[in-house]
């Protein structure tokens, strides 16, 4: 190797050490920067010059020094994948826990005092009525307490509906945020591609991209891959979202249901195909419990639930088949698009489940009171619709349906000219609840509020035609309250009376909250552990970087001294030996 070549070797050492020092300084200056990934200089050998072909031990060649290969980010792909998946799962259970907390508050200020007291007052009023059925005082007290009960039930139900609307607004905002992240990722892909067409590395842009991918992982489940030129491609819930060569992402949309006012995340480019299959079982094994958006969607539900949504059996109005709506949901044909849609399983939705269970309690109390006062309980329970000859014979119900009278005059058939009880039609629930005794479709009979002594009409004031007190009717009312005829939902086996039912609701909500809290805490520990592992690899350590700085500075100094030595040798040859 000539002395001139030796100068090139020293120069390469200076340049490479300077680049390494610059990278180290860049790391130290960004030690507190959120999302910054440690950068590392890769060095390699320059081309070797061969000086002969007959070496006995090794090739006869001389090196030309060191060269700067590239600056790379220090990341672990598998840790990134695991962190993002578990982060999404943690967000899923965070929403579940948040929802159950809100649910406990709405159901009764954390301990159920408000609405539970209303039920207790109703039971007390029934007991007083049983003691003296003919008293106008006990009759008036009973009607007033029933009115308070329905008002309080309506307030709780409206609170749940308002919370559904709150979750609904968050779903719309999250879809917009996801699309915004998609836009930013697409632009960063193009910017990174433009920079790396040359020999440069767009590491700072990649940091921004990775931060956005970390944020996106909280919202939805996705998988991703990198192309040979460094572009990331993302598939959300199995569908293309960010794709190389596209100047825009494949946007998600929030389709508004005109009936419910709820937003449903869909893929507009796939004929409004829903992003999520809400009939899918929620489990870690299937990775179906990932993403805040899905958790919000499930917590909100897809309808205003009522007592039919927690029934043990559900008859599909389109097929006539009995289905398990509570646990498995059902399907129906969308009247606008003609697409087969899924009606969400009630058990999958925290809010819908609570609404259905609450409405079931109120429905049972209201119908039992109405049927007992009208003397029709046995016939209606047996599936027989009572028939009356003339309007003056019609009993007066306490809980009145807003969309339907209790009796309807028949104009044809065997009962033409007679008044027949209008049975509840649940086939079109929840879009049509006009014939159903639901919280949203009931009020107290205004006539009975003004004149409570009409209770039990035509046997007014609990008096029979012979003016004796109708204690059988009062006893039947008390028996209805004492009987354990209610089950929270099809997955429960405990039978409860009216007083215990609401306490069971609160207990179930509390237990669910504890379960979700344990899941959320466990996921937080998992995510923190994975993030710690990531930071050990990609995080900047000031001690390590200072050690590297000393190492590269010494390498720089060594290269400088080497150049000085070669320079002195050349000077000696030229000035001394040359003369």
Burial class (CB in 10 A: 0-12, 13-18, 19+), 462: buried
Alpha-carbon gap, residue 406 to 420, rounded angstroms: 8
Q: Where are the domains of the chain?
A: 3-74+540-577
Instruction: Judge whether 389 and 418 are in contact, CB under 8 Å.
Output: yes
Which is nearest to 539 in space by CA: 83, 32, 7, 6? 32
Instruction: Judge whether 444 and 402 are in contact, CB under 8 Å.
Output: no
Per-residue b/e over 281-293, b at no fewer than 16 CB within 10 Å? ebeeeeebbbbbb
Which is nearest to 84 in space by CA: 252, 280, 227, 290? 290
Opening angle at CA 425, ends 419 and 427, nearest 5: 155
> What is the tally of helices (H) and strands (E) in the chain?
13, 19
Distance from CA of residue 356 to its chain's centroid?
Answer: 19
Instruction: Judge whether 322 and 314 are in contact, CB under 8 Å.
Output: yes
Angstrom distances, CA of residue 400 to CA of 184, 360, 446, 448: 56, 16, 9, 11
| Tokens (6 digits) for 431 | 């879009």
Which is nearest to 439 in space by CA: 352, 375, 384, 363? 363
pTM of this prediction? 0.87
Instruction: Judge whether 421 and 407 are in contact, CB under 8 Å.
Output: yes
Burial class (CB in 10 A: 0-12, 13-18, 19+), 561: exposed
Per-residue pLDDT tens digits of the chain, which is 579 residues long: 555 666 777 777 777 878 888 888 888 888 888 888 888 887 767 676 666 666 566 666 666 677 766 778 888 999 999 999 999 999 999 999 999 999 988 886 544 457 888 899 999 999 999 998 888 899 999 999 999 999 999 999 999 999 999 999 999 999 999 999 999 999 999 999 998 887 778 889 999 999 999 999 999 999 999 998 889 999 999 999 999 989 899 999 999 988 889 999 999 999 889 999 887 888 899 999 999 999 999 999 999 999 999 987 777 777 777 778 888 888 777 666 677 777 888 999 999 999 999 999 999 999 999 998 888 888 887 778 888 888 888 888 999 999 999 999 988 888 888 999 998 888 777 878 889 999 999 999 999 999 988 887 676 667 777 778 888 888 988 998 888 889 999 998 899 988 889 889 988 888 999 999 999 999 999 999 999 999 888 888 888 878 888 888 888 888 788 778 877 787 777 787 655
Dump the DSSP string for 133-166: TT-HHHHHHHHHHHHHHHHHHHHHHHHHHHHHHH
């Amino acid at each position: 190797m000539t002395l001139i070549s030796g100068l090139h070797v020293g120069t390469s050492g200076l340049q490479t050490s300077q680049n390494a020092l610059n990278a180290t300084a860049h790391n130290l200056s960004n030690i507190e920067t959120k999302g910054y990934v440690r950068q590392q200089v890769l060095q390699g050998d320059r081309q070797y010059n061969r000086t002969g072909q007959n070496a006995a031990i090794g090739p006869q060649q001389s090196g030309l020094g060191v060269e700067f290969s590239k600056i790379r980010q220090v990341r672990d792909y598998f840790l990134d994948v695991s962190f993002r998946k578990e982060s999404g799962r943690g967000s899923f259970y965070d929403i579940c826990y948040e929802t159950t907390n809100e649910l406990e508050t709405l159901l009764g200020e954390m301990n159920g005092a408000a609405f539970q007291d209303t039920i207790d007052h109703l039971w007390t009023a029934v007991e007083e009525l049983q003691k003296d059925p003919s008293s106008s005082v006990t009759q008036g007290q009973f009607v007033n307490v029933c009115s308070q009960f329905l008002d309080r039930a309506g307030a709780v139900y409206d609170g749940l509906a308002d919370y559904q609307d709150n979750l609904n607004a968050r779903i719309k905002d999250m879809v917009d945020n996801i699309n915004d992240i998609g836009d930013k990722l697409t632009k960063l892909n193009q910017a990174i591609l433009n920079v790396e067409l040359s020999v440069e590395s767009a590491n700072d842009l990649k940091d921004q991209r990775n931060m956005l991918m970390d944020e996106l992982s909280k919202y939805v489940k996705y998988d991703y891959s990198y192309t040979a030129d460094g572009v990331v491609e993302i598939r959300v819930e199995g569908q293309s979202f960010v794709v190389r060569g596209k100047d825009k992402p494949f946007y998600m949309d929030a389709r508004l249901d005109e009936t419910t006012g709820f937003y449903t995340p869909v893929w507009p480019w796939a004929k409004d195909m829903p992003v999520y299959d809400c009939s899918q079982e929620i489990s870690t094994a299937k990775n179906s419990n990932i993403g805040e958006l899905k958790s919000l969607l499930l917590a909100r539900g897809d309808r205003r639930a009522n007592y039919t949504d927690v029934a043990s059996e559900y008859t599909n109005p389109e097929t006539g088949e009995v289905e398990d709506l509570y646990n498995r949901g059902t399907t129906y044909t969308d009247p606008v698009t003609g697409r087969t849609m899924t009606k969400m399983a009630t058990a999958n939705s925290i809010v819908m489940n609570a609404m259905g269970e609450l409405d079931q309690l109120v429905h049972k109390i209201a119908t039992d009171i109405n049927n007992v006062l009208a003397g029709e309980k046995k016939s209606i329970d047996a599936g027989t619709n009572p028939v009356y000859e003339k309007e003056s014979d019609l009993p007066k119900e306490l809980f009145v349906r807003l969309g339907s009278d209790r009796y309807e005059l028949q104009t044809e058939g065997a009962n033409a000219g007679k008044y027949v009880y209008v049975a509840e039609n649940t086939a079109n629930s929840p879009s049509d609840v006009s014939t159903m005794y639901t919280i949203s479709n009931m009020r107290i009979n205004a006539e009975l509020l003004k004149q409570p002594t009409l209770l039990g009409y035509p046997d007014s004031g609990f008096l029979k035609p012979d003016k004796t007190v109708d204690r059988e009717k009062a006893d039947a009312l008390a028996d209805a309250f004492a009987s354990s005829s209610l089950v929270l939902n099809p997955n429960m086996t405990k039978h409860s009376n009216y007083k215990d039912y609401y306490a069971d609701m609160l207990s179930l909500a509390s237990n669910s909250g504890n379960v979700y809290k344990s899941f959320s805490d466990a996921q937080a520990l998992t995510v923190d552990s994975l993030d710690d592992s990531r930071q050990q690899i990609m995080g900047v350590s000031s001690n390590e970087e200072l050690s590297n700085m000393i190492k590269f500075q010494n390498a720089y100094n060594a290269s400088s001294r080497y150049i000085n030595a070669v320079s002195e040798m050349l000077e000696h040859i030229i000035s001394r030996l040359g003369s």
